[in-house]
């Protein structure tokens, strides 16, 4: 089945991503954010992914500011070695190594031959990987925020 966009109320999107409701309405009118209205209701629903993308562009949000990262913020600074992270989060070992080299996952140090990384970063990357990942897909922008393709089901 094709990945469908997650729709949330405009007011909730504005609060969650720190944008003005009027600004979101303008973006809907310009066609930059998909929106809809439920029958029998005046409440406007907007695509959460598109609102997140606009918030990242307008406010310069970092990955640490995103709700996907905030879910795992309690793990910030907790070391985990790459092999254990690969087992625990069921992500291929080479993928995690590539994310560390790219800077999406912070390396905390070494313990003998074990490379210790930040578990919060691993959990965040794992969540994005589960949402969007398939072999050969770009998942992250250079700053670690989720990549938004120009075409396909995740595009605007």
Give the tens place of pLDDT for each residue, 5-61: 788 999 998 888 888 888 888 988 888 888 888 888 888 899 888 888 787 777 676
Of 130, 62, 124, 76, nearest in space to 99 by CA:
124
pTM of the predicted model over 0.95: no
Q: What is the pLDDT of residues 59-72, one digit of tens each?
A: 676 788 788 888 99
Of all residues in the chain, what percent carry a pLDDT higher than 90? Answer: 37
Q: What is the pLDDT of residues 100-123, one digit of tens each?
A: 999 999 999 998 999 999 999 999
- Sheet containing 44-47: give its strands across: 7-9, 44-47, 35-37
């Amino acid at each position: 089945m094709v990945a469908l966009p997650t729709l949330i109320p405009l007011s909730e999107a504005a609060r969650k991503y720190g944008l003005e409701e009027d600004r979101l309405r303008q973006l809907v009118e310009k066609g930059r954010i998909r929106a809809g209205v439920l029958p029998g209701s005046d409440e406007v629903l907007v695509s959460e992914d598109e609102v997140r993308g606009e918030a990242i562009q307008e406010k310069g949000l970092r990955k640490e500011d995103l709700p996907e990262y905030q879910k795992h913020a309690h793990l910030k600074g907790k070391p985990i070695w790459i092999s254990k992270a690969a087992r625990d989060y069921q992500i291929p070992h080479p993928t995690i190594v590539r994310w560390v080299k790219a800077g999406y996952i912070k390396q905390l140090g070494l313990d003998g031959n074990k490379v210790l990384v930040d578990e919060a970063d691993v959990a965040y990357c794992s969540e994005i990987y589960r949402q969007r990942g398939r072999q050969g897909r770009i998942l992250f922008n250079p700053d670690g925020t989720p990549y938004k393709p120009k075409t396909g089901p995740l595009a605007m």
